[in-house]
């Protein structure tokens, strides 16, 4: 196997406004901060990665600021000029740094894109994906009012396969049931983001009559016993999201029977390498997966789309068109939804390039390491 060396890494710290606010009971996001990684080998191949931490620690303990510092001071020096033969060796070089999975994911994902380009293969083919069209799904937030119905009608027009509704203490269960019944051709997920820690399991049971495909993360991250109880009493499958931070969390979910479905967020678990390990374990135990999103830009979404081609991914993930969240995305071409699906590229790597003009326009900070 050919040996290659990482000769340069570039970091771009960006701030991009959302088209409209993204609100849950946890936080409202108006602007998305991100770090884009360019990893360059000695032959000039460029791998792209994205750090999907947020600006403040409302969702995970990592933030863009902590990830930037971790990348600059510890992670990048650990991989620069190292001899490699395969992409997963990058994450192995980072094991001396505890935690910091989101920062590590940015480098790990870039290494997979780089390797796929060296092999002149689309990333999804390198990963041994089994489908080239990925079902698209959107996330909608806000009250179940006329505005929500208009957005659902628009989702129908674009043939989205799935709609995920954020629920909280104000959600009208009867109104949600009517929506699910009326738009019966779309799968409906409900994302609780841990709200039932406050509302209780009896409130959760009311959603069992709605007709949802699944309920995502009813309780907080480490509430394994409550999730086990919910999985026993609910007919609607329980999908664990924030609880899944590593393969060890998946093992715990399996051992405790604390959920039926895995929500895999590659940018949170440590990148593509850890996602592959989780996929293998899920396949061994017959547990379905879907790929979750974190209001990503196109680089991270492209990696997620490649992972969504794997056989154990059974449900539509958080895959919307570039123009769902953004007036402008940083990748060329735009990610587009046609007939409810996103076609995977036959170009090498993730199949997308950076829009350099937009990158400079959105850039807050920039660093080069050689």
pLDDT exceeds 80 at position 89:
yes
Active site residue 166: yes
Q: Is the pLDDT of residue 24 over 80?
A: no
What is the residue-averaged pLDDT of the chain? Answer: 94
Q: How far apart are the first and last CA of the chain?
A: 25
Report the run of H or E that residue 19 belongs to, with start and end. Answer: strand 4-23
Categorize the per-residue pLDDT at 25 as very low, low, confident or very high, splitting at 50, 70 and 90: low
Domain ranges of the chain: 4-120+354-369, 125-353
Taking every pair of Cα atoms in the chain, the longest distance, rounded to a whole number of angstroms, is: 60
Q: What is the pLDDT of residue 67?
A: 98
Give the CA radius of gyration of the chain: 20
Give the range with max mean pLDDT: 38-42, 170-174, 321-325: 38-42
pTM: 0.94
- Quick one: 125-353 is in which CATH superfamily? Enolase-like C-terminal domain (3.20.20.120)
Q: For residue 220, what are its two tokens?
A: 């907080």
From 15-19, 78-82, 205-209, the region with the lowest mean pLDDT: 15-19
Alpha helices (H) in the chain, listed in sequence order: 64-70, 76-79, 89-93, 101-118, 123-126, 146-157, 173-182, 196-199, 201-205, 224-233, 247-256, 266-269, 272-285, 298-307, 322-325, 356-362
Q: Which CATH class is domain 4-120+354-369?
A: alpha beta
Is 265 tagged catalytic? yes
CB 300 within 8 A of CB 50: yes
Contact 266, 277 (CB under 8 A): no
**Beta pairing partners, 134:** 342
Identical fold, 4-120+354-369 and 125-353: no
pLDDT (0 to 100) of residue 310: 98
Q: What is the mean pLDDT of residues 92-104?
A: 97
List the structure tokens of 23: 């609100």
Cα dist from 234 to 128, 207, 290, whole Å: 35, 9, 20
User: Which two tokens mark 141?
Assistant: 């937030």
pLDDT band at 23 (very low <50, low <70, confident <90, very high): low
Residue from 265, 314, 361, 364 carrying the catalytic annotation: 265
Q: Picking from 54-68, 126-140, 217-231, 318-332, which range would have the lowest pLDDT averaged per residue?
A: 318-332
Confidence of residue 27 (pLDDT cuts 50, 70, 90): low
Catalytic residue among 104, 164, 166, 301: 166
């Amino acid at each position: 196997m050919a040996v290659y060396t990482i000769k340069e890494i570039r970091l771009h710290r960006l701030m991009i406004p959302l088209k409209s606010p993204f609100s849950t009971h946890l936080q409202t996001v108006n602007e998305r901060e991100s770090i884009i990684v360019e990893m360059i080998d000695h032959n000039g191949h460029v791998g792209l990665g994205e750090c999907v931490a947020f600006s403040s620690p409302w969702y995970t303990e990592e933030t863009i600021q902590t990830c930037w510092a971790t990348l600059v001071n510890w992670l990048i020096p650990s991989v620069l000029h190292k001899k490699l033969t395969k992409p997963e060796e990058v994450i192995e070089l980072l094991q001396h740094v505890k935690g910091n999975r989101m920062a590590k994911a940015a480098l790990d994902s870039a290494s997979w894109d780089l390797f796929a380009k060296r092999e002149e293969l689309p990333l999804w083919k390198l990963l041994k994906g089994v489908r080239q069209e990925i079902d698209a799904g959107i996330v909608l937030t806000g009250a179940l009012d006329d505005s929500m119905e208009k957005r659902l009608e628009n989702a129908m027009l674009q043939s989205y396969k799935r709609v995920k509704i954020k629920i909280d203490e104000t959600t009208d269960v009867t109104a949600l049931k009517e929506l699910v019944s009326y738009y019966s051709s779309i799968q409906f997920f409900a994302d609780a983001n841990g709200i039932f820690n406050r509302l209780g399991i009896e409130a959760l049971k009311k959603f069992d009559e709605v007709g949802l495909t699944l309920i995502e993360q009813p309780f907080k991250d480490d509430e394994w016993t409550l999730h086990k109880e919910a999985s026993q009493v609910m007919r609607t499958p329980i999908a664990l999201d924030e609880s899944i931070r590593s393969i060890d969390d998946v093992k715990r979910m399996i051992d405790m029977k604390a959920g039926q479905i895995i929500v895999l967020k590659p940018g949170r678990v440590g990148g593509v390498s850890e996602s592959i390990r989780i996929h293998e374990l899920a396949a061994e135990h017959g547990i379905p997966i879907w790929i979750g999103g974190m209001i990503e830009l196109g680089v991270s979404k492209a990696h997620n789309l490649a992972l969504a081609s794997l056989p154990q991914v059974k449900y539509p993930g958080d895959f919307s068109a570039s123009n769902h969240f953004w007036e402008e995305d940083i990748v060329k071409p735009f990610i587009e939804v046609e007939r409810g699906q996103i076609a995977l590229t036959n170009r090498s790597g993730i199949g997308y390039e950076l829009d350099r003009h937009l990158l400079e326009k959105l850039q807050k900070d920039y660093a080069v390491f050689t």
